[in-house]
Structure 1
Amino acid sequence: MLENLTTEKRNEDTTGLDKLTILETVEKMNQEDMKAVKAISKQAEAITALIEQVVYSLKNGGRLFYFGAGTSGRLGILDAAECVPTFNTDPELVQGIIAGGESAMTVAVEGAEDSTTLAAEDFKERELTAKDIVIGISASGRTPYVIGGLKYATEIGATTAAISCNEEAEISKFASYPIEVSAGPEILTGSTRLKAGTMQKLILNMISTISMVHLGKVYENLMIDVKPTNEKLIERAKNIIMEATGVSKEDATFYFEDSDQQVKLAITRILTGTSKEEAQTLLDKNDGFIRKAIEMAK
């Protein structure tokens, strides 16, 4: 029953929410948000196991799909979209799906989350395969749209995972990699865009970022595959080259342009003292990992 879910219960510490000053409310929300971070730390091993599987799937020709309804779906789409400029991934590699389609990003689509077949249709449209991994996101842990999608993915042979914000969540039963994080009732009863949404976003941050690190898209702690699509990102790309190699701004600019604006290639050329072609070969032989390319060059 919905009323039995932690995310739906009243927070006894905030029953006087409408009487608090703005400062008191800010402090109270901050206190509650701290609980979200602590809740995630308890699920470190489960999150690790899921990320290992995501890396495996992406290395072996699979794609990563986040899917959910409402806030959960929007957060998945947000994380997927950010992978393209941050890590220069193909838009097909990491995808977010929301119940009701793109229009549901801004306006709720009546009944979409209650459908047990809609997610299967969404996955069929994207030609889901056994190589792919799907992560169903649901604060309540009982969204029919997510359950239906997990069932379909299992039938196809795809790897399944679930992120929920209640213990003993229904969707966990249909996932090989279930993650359940609970930080208690929301400051505003039932508003799961708050702590629940924060926990979901933090976990998605971990999944995408750590997966990309292990796919060779990070050197040290630098975004070496950043896609320079505007002036800010072009400047960031040059600064990354400078940070990674210690060269001057002038040299960073030269290597950036001469490497077809590929930060990773420019850094590899500088650190190995090789030509553009040789550096690219080194990267190709080492699955795009700069550190491994440097070792091979030695």
Structure 2
Amino acid sequence: MHNGNLTYSKEQRKYLTRLLEHYMEKTGADNKENLNDGMRFLDWPSTENTKGVDAGLHAMLIMTLEAGAELCTILKEDTTVKKCLAAVARLRKYVADANGSKQAAALLALSGLMPAEKVNSKVIAVDGVRRFSTFFGYYMLQAKTKAGDYEGGINAIRNYWGPMLQLGATTFWEDFNIDWVPNASRIDELVKPGQIDIHGTYGDYCYKNFRHSLAHDWSSGPTPWLTEHVLGIKALAPGCKIVQIIPQLGDLQFAEGSFPTPYGIIKVKHTRLANGQIKSIIKAPKEIKIVRK
């Protein structure tokens, strides 16, 4: 949708269809995923919640096959489309328990296995941003969006990624826990007596202590989320020939940013007026049709 490169997609046709066949074989007779030929994994913070991992992988397989069906529709691989959708229909007969895992719950919401409103209020919003994770935080934000909780998403960014900024971050961290914040030293200053070296002290699993990366792009979920939902920019046609702009400012007074397309940069600024309405200034390349609500 962003680049409109159909030639590249066609070059991947054989690999894509074989890969989807492989994933379809991972649907068991009991309508559960059967991804057992390797480590069962969502992200490190969720590894000890095996029921949560099971639920997340089940939802992820549904999302994978649905995306595969969409790609194969474009590529006119009709047989693979039918097989994918048939496998999805079987998988949807079973709904796993997220077991309190915010990672798994987000995937259950995004796959449509559970109502997003229920997932948001009963799992993701519980205890604020505790038990968030840097990688799956993006999917938690997306689940909040599906529940219509845009302001909750903005607050989650403030309260989870925001403390990293307050501690001197200029890049996204590999791992973060808000319980690390009390009495922690900024990373751009020498550690003062009595303060905690947040980089040298904390971290889990394979990124303990100074092995913990403080520049990790898997944690950058707020960037696309803010672009898509707060700025409201979404490509509706391949190659960004048609772009929708519907801002969701939540409690913000303004938002400003840019979005790269094959035709050049789209620049957007949204400002909340005194009457509550939003004024938008949009500058886009002439080749792009802008659609607004």
Highest RCO, 1 vs 2 (Cα 8 Å, sep ≥ 6): 1
Fold in common (TM above 0.5) = no
- Place the TM-score, normalised by the shorter chain, in its bin: under 0.3
Structure with greater proportional helix content: 1
